[in-house]
Amino acid sequence: MRTIFLVFLIMLQIGCKQGTESYVRNTHSGPALGTSYNIIFLENRELNLKREIDSVFDAVNKSMSTYIKDSDISRINDGDTTVVVDQMFREVFELSNTVYNKTEGYFDPTVGVLVNAWGFGPGEQLSLDKARVDSLLNYVGFHKVQLTSHNKIKKELAGIRFDFNAIAKGYTLDRLAVLLDRQEIDNYLVELGGEVVTKGENKIKGKMWTVGIEDPQNAQMGALKITIPLKNRALASSGNYRKFRIDSISGEKYVHTIDPKNGFTKNSKILGANVLADNCALADAYATAFMAMDLETSKTILYGLKDIDAYIIYLGEDGETKEFMTQGFKSLLSP
């Protein structure tokens, strides 16, 4: 899965009193989706939800993991036209279509063929030049795929390959949040590979959940750029400072963000994009899109979006690190 650079800061005490109500800190953590997860929720008792949590990860993998050969997405990518997709696949498909249109195609889950070719997927890595990339671009474009009324995928070209990794992690967090909601849990923080969904407050500390965003230029030192309070919102981040590969022959660096417009990996001046939204799937998708486009295009798109806020770290023309924040993001930093 795509690595992003958000860490969460939580200092909790077990069994503290908040008014007349006693809260117990419940935690679950472990490996999942090629990364790790941490779930903290506050209840008046100890509650073990590991089996239910594992079932969410299993269902997402069965539906959308490109690393599992018999998953729905792998079968579709391999040309199986008989696959009837599940509700999760449908929801991710529809959200992807929305963000694809809102970002003018900069978010495009049909880049699977390019993800493989550049060496960031489960498929064969290729030796690429402009002519080869241009030929692969024929298999890219979300407008070239459809979800039929019978819940099957129709592709204009058989070679089109889906890759939902830039939205599936955020969507998984949303499904975990639904799981906790159905248990009538009102205060939680869920983190998966750095993406975060929060609800309610840290009642033990008597304040909102606090998360920190890493400094992309000093991430190895664990340095934070900012910390923000979150309540009933999702936060996702994307950056190229961790997930990249170095060609063993040329020594050239290739980052994992692929520009779906030209097919090449994006070595841009954008160091990191951090997005707030009402759900993590949208935050995840927009964070990916803002890494693939230039800052001015991101600003234009953000001004037209409702309930989406962003904090973008970039290099200015003078080579100095600069920041752009929407007003909604700035408001979280107010004293």
Tell me what pLDDT residue 100 has. 97
3-state helix, strand, coil in the chain (%, to 5): 30, 30, 40
281, pLDDT greater than 90: yes
Give the residue with greater pLDDT, 236 vs 240.
Answer: 236
13, pLDDT greater than 70: no
Tell me what pLDDT residue 316 has. 87
Q: Are 68 and 62 in contact (CB under 8 A)?
A: yes
Which amino acid is residue 12, in one-letter code? L
Tell me what pLDDT residue 22 has. 86
246, pLDDT greater than 80: no
Give the C-alpha separation, 142 to 109, whole Å: 7
User: Could you tell me which CATH number the domain at 6-331 has?
Assistant: 3.10.520.10
pLDDT digits (tens, 9 = 90+) for 98-117: 999 999 999 999 999 998 88
Tell me what pLDDT residue 259 has. 87
b or e along 288-320 (b: 16 or more beta carbons within 10 Å of the residue's beta carbon)?
Answer: bbbbbbebeebeebbeebeebbbbbbbeeeeee
DSSP character string of 231-285: SS-EEEEEESSSSEEE-TTT--EEES-B-TTT-SB---SEEEEEEEESSHHHHHH
Give the C-alpha separation, 287 to 273, whole Å: 5
Tell me what pLDDT residue 274 has. 96
Tell me what pLDDT residue 317 has. 85
pLDDT band at 156 (very low <50, low <70, confident <90, very high): very high
- The token duo for 1 is 């899965």
| Stretch 238-264: mean pLDDT | 61
- The token duo for 148 is 């039929």
Share above pLDDT 70 across residues of the chain, in percent, rounded to a whole number: 86
Contacts 24+ apart (CB under 8 A), 204-207: 204/12, 204/13, 204/14, 204/16, 204/18, 204/23, 204/25, 204/42, 205/11, 205/12, 205/13, 206/18
183, pLDDT greater than 90: yes
| Stretch 21-27: mean pLDDT | 90
Give the chain's mean pLDDT: 87
| Stretch 44-59: mean pLDDT | 97
Tell me what pLDDT residue 129 has. 84
- For 165, residues 6+ apart whose C-beta sits below 8 A from its C-beta are 1, 2, 66, 115
Q: Are 264 and 158 in contact (CB under 8 A)?
A: no
Most confident of 15-24, 139-148, 204-213, 289-298: 139-148
What angle is formed at CA 105 by the lines to CA 146 and CA 153, rounded to 5 degrees?
A: 15
Give the Cβ contact number of residue 24 at 10 Å.
15
